[in-house]
Structure 1
Amino acid sequence: MDITLRLAQQPEADALLGRSPLAALTGMLLDQQVPMEWAFTAPWTIAQRLGRDDLDAREIAAHDPEDFAALLAQKPAVHRYPGSMAKRLQQLCQYLVGHYDGDAAAVWQGVESGGELLTRLNDLPGFGRQKAQIFLALLGKQFGVAPDGWREAAGPYGEAGCHRSVADITGPQSLAEVRAFKQEAKRAAKKT
């Protein structure tokens, strides 16, 4: 896997996201309550702090929880809530080790339908239905992982030509369009 992504809007971080399935899953896991670029830069920051050029699920799963939380909390912190996100990331990696032999790409490799892929993603610790649908859309739109019915399983995030989520970010302009969509959705929600 070596995909060109523009989610972090930082070349080194985007390069890691494009070559590392675990980095992409990690960015998606952390994409809440912080700007998208911050969440998707975090995998690169974590790898650097671990002294690596990639992330390893086994290493993260086995890391001392207090030390790992401290690593994520170093300035600048990788998330607004580094302690709870360190715990969630370790839980995700433990799940990957237990169910997929530590291989994040195995979550989507060999999947025959969008529904099956959505179920697998939804089963990941820290992934609810919406996060699973957004990541499924990211896989389909930018990684070429497109089992039958993937757009339907991704719900509105799978629509072609939309700018709803991280799945639709290909550069600064599409990032601005996604932000505008989210702001409008928040305004509409406040009116109801």
Structure 2
Amino acid sequence: MMRALCLTGDPVADKLLTDDPFALLTGMLLDQQFAMELAFAGPQKIATRMDGFSITKIAESDIEEFVELCVTKPAIHRYGGSMGRRVHELALHVVENYDGDTEGIWTAGRPKPDGPEVLKRLKALPGFGEQKAKIFLALLGKQRGVQPKGWREAAGAYGDRGSRRSIADVIDAKTLVEVRAFKKAAKAAAKAG
């Protein structure tokens, strides 16, 4: 089940995320201390400024020039400089380890990787920790049809059916509001406890 993504509220940005796995991976990287929909719109900002979104172009670009492109207003993130460096580092990692084939993270190898292996590969990416990797695995499973054996268990609660816990559960404006409410309640509970 491969659905057209609706993560940003901008049809052009969502089409890029739907069509380009590295754009989607980049959006997940940027989803940190920043509104979800703005983080996932970051790849489209890069695409506009680079005359297209290309993992190879990003990886081969001069780091300082790429960072400058990322901090140009409106910046790709509230921390445009450090996130620009992370995007560049992520592109280099995928080029060096997967020959620039982002989908290789979840498809490369014989036998095909299972959910725990995909999670392990995601956690090995620059800027991806345990939680970010689990959310991205859930996003792949729920919205991109990438469902290796054991993916739901590997994604933890983010893989739960019907949850409204992360960007993996955002399919329209209504679910975006529901996820935001869940995150706000979870944050309040963490502060109180």
TM-score band, normalised by the shorter chain?
over 0.9
C-alpha distance in structure 1 between counterparts of 2:61 and 2:8, whole Å: 25
C-alpha distance in structure 2 between counterparts of 1:72 and 1:126, whole Å: 16
C-alpha distance in structure 2 between counterparts of 1:106 and 1:144, whole Å: 15
C-alpha distance in structure 2 between counterparts of 1:186 and 1:11, whole Å: 30
Structure 1 runs of 4+ off > 6 angstroms?
A: none
Superposed, 1:103-122 pairs within 5 Å as 103-110=101-108, 111-122=112-123
Indicate the SS of the match to 1:108: helix
Task: Judge conservation of contact 1:168–1:174 (CA < 8 Å) in 2.
Answer: yes
Unaligned 5+ residue runs, structure 1?
none
1:92 aligns to what?
A: 90
C-alpha distance in structure 2 between counterparts of 1:126 and 1:76, whole Å: 22
Superposed, 1:46-65 pairs within 5 Å as 46-52=46-52, 55-65=53-63
Q: CA deviation at 1:112?
A: 3.1
C-alpha distance in structure 1 between counterparts of 2:12 and 2:106, whole Å: 24
2:164 aligns to what?
A: 163
Q: CA deviation at 1:57?
A: 1.7
Task: Judge conservation of contact 2:7–2:37 (CA < 8 Å) in 1.
Answer: yes
For residues 21-57 of structure 1, give each alpha carbon's deviation from its aligned partner in whole angstroms, at most 9, with x where no partner exists.
00000000000111011101110110110011xx222
Percent identity between the two aligned chains: 53
Indicate the SS of the match to 2:107: coil
Unaligned 5+ residue runs, structure 2?
none
How large is the RMSD of aligned CA atoms in angstroms?
A: 1.3
Q: CA deviation at 1:3?
A: 4.1
Task: Judge conservation of contact 1:3–1:19 (CA < 8 Å) in 2.
Answer: no
Task: Judge conservation of contact 2:67–2:80 (CA < 8 Å) in 1.
Answer: yes
C-alpha distance in structure 2 between counterparts of 1:56 and 1:123, whole Å: 21
Task: Judge conservation of contact 2:8–2:38 (CA < 8 Å) in 1.
Answer: yes
Indicate the SS of the match to 1:174: helix
Task: Judge conservation of contact 2:106–2:113 (CA < 8 Å) in 1.
Answer: no
Q: CA deviation at 1:107?
A: 0.8
C-alpha distance in structure 1 between counterparts of 2:89 and 2:74, whole Å: 23
What TM-score do the two structures reach when normalised by structure 2? 0.96
Superposed, 1:14-163 pairs within 5 Å as 14-52=14-52, 55-110=53-108, 111-163=112-164
C-alpha distance in structure 1 between counterparts of 2:95 and 2:101, whole Å: 7
Tell me which amino acid in the other structure corresponds to 1:142: Q
Task: Judge conservation of contact 1:166–1:178 (CA < 8 Å) in 2.
Answer: yes
Tell me which amino acid in the other structure corresponds to 1:128: G
C-alpha distance in structure 1 between counterparts of 2:134 and 2:140, whole Å: 10
C-alpha distance in structure 1 between counterparts of 2:132 and 2:145, whole Å: 18
